[in-house]
Structure 1
């Protein structure tokens, strides 16, 4: 098998394993791409599109709840509130992502930025875990408009690679006194429009540079990410319920320090 396809499989697996835990899937992809010398499609389109593979795994795993919600929109206020909260929380990242797309891709997609963000994010998780108060919000359907918007603003911090979309969303939710299960599931559901929008936008921006070979590489990574995420999502919820987020914080700091040391040694 062509080496680039093997690299795409590896990157897809890493994406699927890391998308839904607070360790930054984008950060891991940037670091790993730099380490293995992956030469994929231009414009970071590979990294964005394979994230959609992981998101579709969540759609499949939660398909009954999603279908039930959509079917009951005309008759059930709770279903309408669920959809409203997802849309409201999605908007900050959508607006800022469109405005800052080129700056993010050309300036922030750097292994140095990722390494520092992993470390700082790990420290932030530890501090939040030690100061979080008793939760007041337990059901996504009962989130207020303002709460959903504030969580969306927290998610927007993840446009900095290495911050972690799920980490920013979940930690922001905990600070706003959402319980762990609801915070984690809201992060899953919020990922659907967020990553779908990012994928469509990136494909549109980079359509001219894509060819059959690039499409094959993206497809392999996409399927690998779907399979890995399918396995890890349920396990992630169970692990977080029992152990919280401190283990992820320690992992983030360790990886960030190691990568920063490697990058600095290479530059010296």
Structure 2
């Protein structure tokens, strides 16, 4: 991978990880257009740069992480369902990841759903995610399990899950950001362990690429989170729904035109 490719992928990761648009779908298009070949390091890179986006949440919402232990308990409870299913069905999920068509279809389906979600859940009563109960946290965690289907979007699943529990769009989005931390940190740790167990060793150049990717992802994620909250609060999900539909159709168009797309 070149530094240019690293920066582009990091920008895409930072922009799309916390938005309900599926970062996986965007990675498909980016890697196809840039002709990036799949390798063990490329697979590791796309997961490890999540550490930069995790740091952006910690920086923007550091006061939330200093409030009380109940905050952490709720995150753990919400993270349990997807963590268990992810471990149990890991091989099956990996096989689904081999199908760009699956990702494209889920992008379109999820996009159509987002066109109507504001109308369906329009009577929120909880304006602060700290006010949710442990039961509500678990239910949001169950919605996160939908994100195990490639192209669904973890953010979309958890934000909608929050809205079903009477959270405002802003509160649901913020809880989704917080819930990303244990999930993304866990995924990165597992990927690193597997990488070294397979006998791979990071070179000095690869470490530099990871550092650059995380720095770029961190900066872009901060901008994306702030912008997303403003747009979501004022305009809702409809624009994101149409955007997902367009991205899904682009992937389908690339497949029909004979492009051999790979998910990294």
Contact 2:9 2:27 in 1 (8 A): yes
Contact 2:108 2:249 in 1 (8 A): yes
* Aligned ranges 1:33-48 → 2 under 5 Å: 33-39=31-37, 41-42=39-40, 44-48=43-47
CA distance in 1, matches of 2:148, 2:25: 11
Mean Cα deviation higher: 8-17 or 142-151: 142-151
How far is 1:166 from its partner? 0.7
TM-score (norm 2): 0.90
- In the alignment, the residues of structure 2 paired with residue 210 and residue 159 of structure 1 have an alpha-carbon distance, to the nearest angstrom, of 28
Alignment partners' CA distance in 1, 2:235 and 2:249: 23
- Name the structure 2 match of 1:83: 72
Query: Residue 63 of structure 1 aligns to a residue in which SS?
Result: coil
TM-score, L = length of structure 1: 0.89
Match of 1:73 in 2: none
- Structure number having the greater helix percentage: 1
Other-structure match for 1:19:
17
Distance 1:64 1:222, change over 3 A: same
CA RMSD of aligned residues (A): 1.9
Give the Cα–Cα distance (whole angstroms) in 2 for the partners of residues 157 and 148 of structure 1. 15
Contact 1:31 / 1:114 at 8 angstroms: preserved in 2? no
Unmatched segments (≥5 aa) in structure 1 = 70-78
Check the 8 A contact 1:41/1:210 in 2, yes or no: no
Deviation at 1:109, TM superposition (A): 4.2
Q: Which runs of 4+ in 1 moved over 4 A?
A: none
Contact in 2 for aligned 1:109/1:161 (Cα 8 Å):
no
| Alignment equivalent of 2:244, drawn from 252, 257, 261 | 252
What per-residue deviation string (whole Å, max 9, x for no partner) do you get for residues 18-66 of structure 1? 1111101122113322332223641722211112211211111112332
Alignment of 1:87-236 (within 5 A): 87-207=76-196, 208-212=199-203, 213-236=205-228
SS in 1 for 2:89: helix
Q: Give the aligned partner of residue 76 of structure 1.
A: none
Query: Hey, what does 1:240 align to over in structure 2?
Result: 232
Partners of 1:267 and 1:205 lie apart in 2 by 30
Residue 11 of structure 1 deviates from its aligned partner by: 0.3
What per-residue deviation string (whole Å, max 9, x for no partner) do you get for residues 59-82 of structure 1?
11112332x22xxxxxxxxx2332
Residues 141 and 55 (structure 1 numbering): CA distance in 2 closer, same or farther, change over 3 Å? Answer: same
- Aligned mates of 1:177, 1:250 — CA distance in 2: 24
- Which 5+ residue runs of structure 2 have no aligned equivalent? none
- State the alpha-carbon separation in 2 of the partners of residues 110 and 198 from structure 1: 20
